[in-house]
Structure 1
Amino acid sequence: MDLFSHALGALLRAVSELSDDDFAKPSGCEGWLVRDLVCHFVIDAQDVLITLVTPTADPVTHDSVSYWKVSSSVADDPLAALTVRLAAAYGEPWMLKHHVDDVGQAALRAAQLADPTLKVSTQDMVLCTSGYLGAYVWEWTLHHLDLVMHVDVAGPPASSLARCREMLEQIAGAFPATWTDTDVLLVGTGRRAPTEAERAELGDLAIPFVLG
């Protein structure tokens, strides 16, 4: 629960530090500018607010790790093109910054007030609130790395990076202990190709593209 707040709070601060020119720069998400990625944060925060008020009595089916699907492409995401069009509709960067802060701060407050044992339903899955918010540590942190790929603002907290590395290694297996958490996440999710030396260290370890 605390990591959710740390990860989202850091992301919102990073967005607040963006200059107008930064919004037109590429992000770490293929095909998306920074403005498109920030618009995606609005949608994410709205999803958190909706899910936290969607309780269920059904049994838990997923946790913070199994919530995520492993794939090799984001091309089939039907919301990707919609997000780009929606981001362009904001017109001025300050409008988008205001909206993401508005719904992002609401998501922070809702998470802090939530009962961690309450079961919630989303995308045909049932999770404890603590598990759902734990899953979003991955979302905020990976997309925070995407945000700072080509702009000069602060990156994700070390605690969030470490937790996301743990989550990834539960799916893919252990990465070399000498690798930084950031390198593990960038390479392990396909955001950066491994160097020849890194590939040799990986050996037979399969590298999935775990979507955020």
Structure 2
Amino acid sequence: MDLFSRSWTALRAAVAGLPDPAFGQPSGCAGWLVRDLVCHLVIDAQDVLITLATPADAEPTRDAVTYWDRVEAPTGDDPLDALIVRLAAAYEEPWLLKFHLDDVGSAAGRAAVLADPEGRVGTRGQVLTVDDYLSAYVLEWTLHHLDLIAHLPDVAGPPAEGLSRSRAMVEQILGAALPASFSDTDALLIGTGRRAANDAETAEIADLRAKLPLYLG
């Protein structure tokens, strides 16, 4: 839960420090500008609040790793993705997006700190412990932090602990380790299809060709 808080705080701080022109730059999410990604983070924060307020009595059906499903490569045709683009455009001024993310995001962060880690919550038709649910979101925050800075090299990246934990989760989902020569950042970018591997990297992941890239939803 502490890593959830550190990862989420770092991501929100990175957004808060963005200059206005950065919101019109492309993000690491195909088809999304930075403003679209930030709007998605607002939705994510709302989801965290909703889930933490949805207690469940049943036994857990997923954990932090199995929370994630493998999905097809994004095409840009998903109705929710299109809605987020329209919502982001409706904000008009970057400061409005910053304000909304700070407002809802801070509330989500406080709710996470106050939640009982051993409690159970329901989301997406599944039951998880609070600890597992928040741990799953470390991967979400870390990947989206990398998406945020994809074309903004002067913006600080995600915490090293979040990168390391997220890499471990991706490798667990894959059922295989990514090359030790890959940094945690490169392992995540290549492993999730956010960056194409160069020739040398492609040779190192030849045995994983059938499993990569990993798209999660």
TM-score (norm 1): 0.97
- 1:58-137 aligned at under 5 Å gives the runs 58-75=58-75, 77-137=78-138
Runs of 4 or more off by more than 2 Å in structure 1? 74-78, 208-212
- After TM superposition, give the deviation of residue 79 of structure 1 in Å: 1.0
- After TM superposition, give the deviation of residue 204 of structure 1 in Å: 1.4
Q: Secondary structure at the match of 1:121?
A: strand
**Aligned match of 2:214:** 209
Q: Secondary structure at the match of 2:99?
A: helix
**Aligned match of 1:155:** 157
Unaligned runs of 5+ in 2: none
Q: 2:163 corresponds to which letter in structure 1?
A: L
- After TM superposition, give the deviation of residue 211 of structure 1 in Å: 2.4
In 1, Cα distance between equivalents of 2:59 and 2:9: 31
Match of 1:166 among 157, 165, 168: 168
Q: Secondary structure at the match of 2:128?
A: strand
**Aligned match of 1:182:** 185
In 2, Cα distance between equivalents of 1:113 and 1:124: 24
- After TM superposition, give the deviation of residue 78 of structure 1 in Å: 2.8
Q: 1:150 corresponds to which letter in structure 2?
A: H
Q: Secondary structure at the match of 1:69?
A: coil
Identity of aligned residues (%): 62
**Aligned match of 2:35:** 35
Q: 1:163 corresponds to which letter in structure 2?
A: R
TM-score (norm 2): 0.95
Q: Does 1:52 align with 2:52?
A: yes
In 2, Cα distance between equivalents of 1:69 and 1:5: 23
Q: Contact (CA 8 Å) 2:120, 2:129: kept in 1 or not? A: yes
Deviations 1:153-184 (A, max 9, x none): 11100000000000011122101112100000
Q: 1:138 corresponds to which letter in structure 2?
A: L
Aligned length: 212
